């Protein structure tokens, strides 16, 4: 019987099947950040098990609140930092070199097709863009991952999503995934892997695929996953060129993770995007989505461009193209957080940062920032934010605030008017 | 093994997310106990007041997709330190579901219609539930009203509950 990508990866990593339907798999990487890891670290110490299974497979970053904003967040950073030193975890990224985990770790070459990855962060599904099985877990799973290098999962079903057509200009990966979540619902993919394929995905670069996979969890999915292809190899080439004689050879090796034609899926769906319009959320659930034209004119107080969904170079470039030689509206305040130092540097060198600043944006250091309302960019009660992030839950960006999720293009266009605005109208 | 019997808190809405269970601003806490006062602080639900309604409860009964959103295990912990060791709902988000059992607690799924019946029969009344893990049977009681409801748990889930959580289980086996 044919296999899906996830099934192939599970087969190659299976350590134990303690019960029917439960797979304990070995992990190729365990990613850590300063919010969910310190509790795991402290618990390991309390159990007298302050060890790591393999320091070279653990990657850690301080990204959610950086620089630390108070004594408590300073302590979270310190616990992670001391732990990384104590266990000689070389890939630890502290302030100055840190960035949003799901943008930073791919950029450092830590993700490969066929890998199994966990992190105490629900958007770990982002890394499925590389053809990896990457899942968010809680601190206890993380703790066992750190200690033993294994994690348990129900063998996941996959949902094959064929994205077909040609997206109209001005429609981005963010619009596609928002429309898809609206169709599937916030729990339509629970306990499943969303396997993205089709001509639209084939043409997407890795940044766009990461945007797509990033929001798989908003439909309840365990992971999003894309078939590894030449885009994947091109992105990874600086990190793998020593391992392969040519890009073709790398591609061939990675293609063992392509799904079989006769693979069995929980569900298969075609999603046509040729007539898709830019999308935006309107409520407190990510599946409450309308077109930007339906929502146009909605008053906003803040614009936020950044996050693991849309804080990458292309996202900034798209927004800057709209903002060039223009000013944001007086009624709105605007923040951009390049997701990593590398993205920041490239944006600086290519003049993008200058465009943002001339337009009236505040440019922050790489951080999760406003996305989860823990450090900067918090909304006051009753305020509204046009945001390129991935969650619009009630209170997410501050108690009483409302978040409208959208693409960087729509966010930039909205910055110019102080109202939700289609980029086509700029 | 944890204690699962006790008073029921009914939360009548689908998609109650982990931001509502414990807002991100409290994720700076590094002890479970510190989360205690903030459980369900951002859940705005008619007739529900976290200040008064949580106290004394041991079990939550809710609707579909409970615990969606962030992976924060602070959500199960916030329940745990308030003495709530079990959530019964018509559906769960995967990570929250796993986190509950990883902590030796229970997240039990029941059919929509059964949950409907529970809400119709007991919501708004002082209700207790007793759990029989040998016969997989809940007994809901409110005054003279009694309802027995069967449930299922996977073998894995049950062994995590019995072991006290995933760290204990994994440490013994891997
Ligand atoms: S940017 Fe937002 S969603 Fe992404 S990891 Fe940070 S807090 Fe989570």
**CA of A38: which chain B residue's CA is closest?**
B30
| Residue A426 pLDDT | 84
Question: Contacts of residue A65 in chain B, CB cutoff 8 Å?
Answer: 28
How many angstroms separate the alpha carbon of residue A278 from the centre of ligand 1? 22
State whether the beta carbon of A101 lies less than 6 angstroms from ligand 1: yes
| Residue A21 pLDDT | 85
Atom of ligand 1 nearest to the CA of A306: 1
What is the DSSP-derived secondary structure letter of residue A380? P
| Residue B131 pLDDT | 97
How many angstroms separate the alpha carbon of residue A307 from the centre of ligand 1? 6
Q: Label the pairing between strands A157-164 and A116-119.
A: unpaired
Are the CB atoms for B159 and A133 separated by under 8 Å? no
With a cut of 50, list the residues of chain B below it in pLDDT. Answer: none
| Residue A157 pLDDT | 95
| Residue B168 pLDDT | 85
Q: Does A237 touch chain B (CB under 8 A)?
A: no
Give the C-alpha distances (Å, rounded to integers) separating B136 from A42, A81, A404, B148. 35, 45, 44, 10
Question: Contacts of residue A36 in chain B, CB cutoff 8 Å?
Answer: 27, 71-73
Residue written as token pair 């006790």: B6
- Partner-chain contact A122 B159, CB within 8 Å: no
State whether the beta carbon of A207 lies less than 6 angstroms from ligand 1: no
How many angstroms separate the alpha carbon of residue A372 from the centre of ligand 1? 7
Q: Does A122 touch chain B (CB under 8 A)?
A: yes
The b-or-e profile of A87-119 (16+ CB within 10 A means b, else e) is: bebebbbeeeebbbbbbbbbbbebbbbbbbbbb
Calculate what percentage of chain A has a pLDDT beyond 70: 100
Question: Contacts of residue A78 in chain B, CB cutoff 8 Å?
Answer: none
State whether the beta carbon of A123 lies less than 6 angstroms from ligand 1: yes
- Partner-chain contact B174 A393, CB within 8 Å: no
**CA of A26: which chain B residue's CA is closest?**
B174
Structure tokens at A266: 């929980």
Task: Give the minimum alpha-carbon distance from B20 to chain A in angstroms, rounded to a whole number.
Answer: 7
Write the residue in B65, B159, B170 that is nearest to A148 by C-beta: B170
pTM of the model: 0.95
- Partner-chain contact A374 B27, CB within 8 Å: yes
Rounded Cα distance between A176 and A186, Å, is 15
Rounded Cα distance between A169 and A146, Å, is 44
**Cα angle vertex B111, ends B107, B115, to 5°?**
80
The answer to whether the Cα torsion of B67, A307, A226, A14 is positive or negative is negative
Q: Does A224 touch chain B (CB under 8 A)?
A: no
| Residue A1 pLDDT | 86
State whether the beta carbon of A315 lies less than 6 angstroms from ligand 1: no
| Residue A190 pLDDT | 96
Structure tokens at B68: 């969606």
The answer to whether the Cα torsion of A55, A23, A220, B138 is positive or negative is negative
Rounded Cα distance between B5 and B88, Å, is 12
| Residue B30 pLDDT | 84
Structure tokens at A244: 């392969």
Q: Does A396 touch chain B (CB under 8 A)?
A: yes
Sheet holding A267-272, edge to edge: A223-226, A192-197, A157-164, A267-272
Are the CB atoms for A268 and A281 separated by under 8 Å? no
State whether the beta carbon of A390 lies less than 6 angstroms from ligand 1: yes
Query: What secondary structure does DSSP assign to A48-71, as a single string?
Result: T----S-GGGEEEE--SS-S--SH
With a cut of 50, list the residues of chain A below it in pLDDT. Answer: none
State whether the beta carbon of A310 lies less than 6 angstroms from ligand 1: no
Residue written as token pair 């830019």: A278
Atom of ligand 1 nearest to the CA of A371: 2
Query: Residues of chain B whose C-beta is under 8 A from some C-beta in A?
Result: 15, 17, 19-20, 23-25, 27-30, 32, 42, 44, 64-65, 68-73, 76, 91-95, 98-99, 102-103, 154-156, 159, 165-167, 170-171, 173-174
Which of B70, B105, B107 would best serve as a mutation to test chain A binding (most A beta carbons within 10 A)? B70
- Partner-chain contact A140 B73, CB within 8 Å: yes
State whether the beta carbon of A219 lies less than 6 angstroms from ligand 1: no
**CA of B97: which chain A residue's CA is closest?**
A138
State whether the beta carbon of A372 lies less than 6 angstroms from ligand 1: yes
Question: Contacts of residue A22 in chain B, CB cutoff 8 Å?
Answer: 154, 156
């Amino acid at each position: 019987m044919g296999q899906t990508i996830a099934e192939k990866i599970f087969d190659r990593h299976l350590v134990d099947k303690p019960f029917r339907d439960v797979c304990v798999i070995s992990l190729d990487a365990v990613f850590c950040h300063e919010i969910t890891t310190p509790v795991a670290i402290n618990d390991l110490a309390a159990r007298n098990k302050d060890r790591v299974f393999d320091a070279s497979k653990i990657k850690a970053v301080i990204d959610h609140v950086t620089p630390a904003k108070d004594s408590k967040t300073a302590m979270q950073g310190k616990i992670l930092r001391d732990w990384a030193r104590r266990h000689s975890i070389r890939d630890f990224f502290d302030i100055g070199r840190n960035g949003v985990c799901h943008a930073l770790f791919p950029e450092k070459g830590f993700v490969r097709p066929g890998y199994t990855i966990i992190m105490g962060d629900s958007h770990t599904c982002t890394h499925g863009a590389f053809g990896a099985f990457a899942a968010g877990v809680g601190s206890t799973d993380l703790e066992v991952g750190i200690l033993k290098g294994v994690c348990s999962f129900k063998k996941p079903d996959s949902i094959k999503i064929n994205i077909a057509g040609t997206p109209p200009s001005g429609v981005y990966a963010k619009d596609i995934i928002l429309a898809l979540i609206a169709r599937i619902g916030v729990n339509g993919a629970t306990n499943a892997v969303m396997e993205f394929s089709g001509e639209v995905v084939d043409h997407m670069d890795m940044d766009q695929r990461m945007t797509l996979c990033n929001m798989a969890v908003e439909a309840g999915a365990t992971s999003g996953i894309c078939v590894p292809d030449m885009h994947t190899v091109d992105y990874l080439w600086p990190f793998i060129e020593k391992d392969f004689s040519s890009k073709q050879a790398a591609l061939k090796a990675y293609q063992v993770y392509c799904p079989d034609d006769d693979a069995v899926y929980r569900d298969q769906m075609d999603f046509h995007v040729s007539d898709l319009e830019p999308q935006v959320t309107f409520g407190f659930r990510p599946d409450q989505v309308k077109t930007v034209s339906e929502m146009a004119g909605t008053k906003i107080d803040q614009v936020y461009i950044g996050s693991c969904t849309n804080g990458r170079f292309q996202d900034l470039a798209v927004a800057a193209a709209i903002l060039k030689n223009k000013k944001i509206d007086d009624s709105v305040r605007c923040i951009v957080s390049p997701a990593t130092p590398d993205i920041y540097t490239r944006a600086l060198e290519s003049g993008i940062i200058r465009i943002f600043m001339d337009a009236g944006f505040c440019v922050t250091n790489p951080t999760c920032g406003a996305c989860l309302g823990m450090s900067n960019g918090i909304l006051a009660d009753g305020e509204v934010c046009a945001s390129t992030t991935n969650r619009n839950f009630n209170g997410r960006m501050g108690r009483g605030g409302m978040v409208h999720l959208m693409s960087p293009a729509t966010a930039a266009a909205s910055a110019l008017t102080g109202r939700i605005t289609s980029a086509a109208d700029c | 093994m944890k204690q699962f019997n006790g008073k029921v808190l009914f939360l009548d809405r689908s998609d109650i997310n982990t931001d509502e269970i414990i807002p991100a601003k409290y994720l700076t806490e590094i002890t479970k106990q510190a989360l205690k006062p903030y459980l369900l602080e951002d859940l705005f639900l008619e007739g529900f007041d976290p200040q008064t309604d949580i106290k004394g409860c041991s079990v939550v009964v809710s609707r579909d997709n409970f615990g969606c959103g962030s992976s924060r295990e602070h959500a199960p912990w916030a329940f745990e330190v308030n003495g709530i060791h079990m959530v019964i709902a018509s559906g769960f988000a995967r990570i929250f579901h796993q986190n509950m059992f990883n902590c030796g607690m229970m997240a039990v799924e029941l059919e929509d219609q059964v949950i409907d019946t529970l809400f119709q029969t007991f919501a708004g009344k002082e209700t207790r539930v007793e759990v029989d893990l040998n016969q997989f049977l809940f007994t809901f009681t409110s005054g003279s009203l009694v309802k027995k409801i069967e449930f299922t748990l996977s073998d894995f889930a049950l062994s995590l509950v019995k072991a006290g959580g995933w760290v204990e289980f994994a440490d013994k086996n891997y």
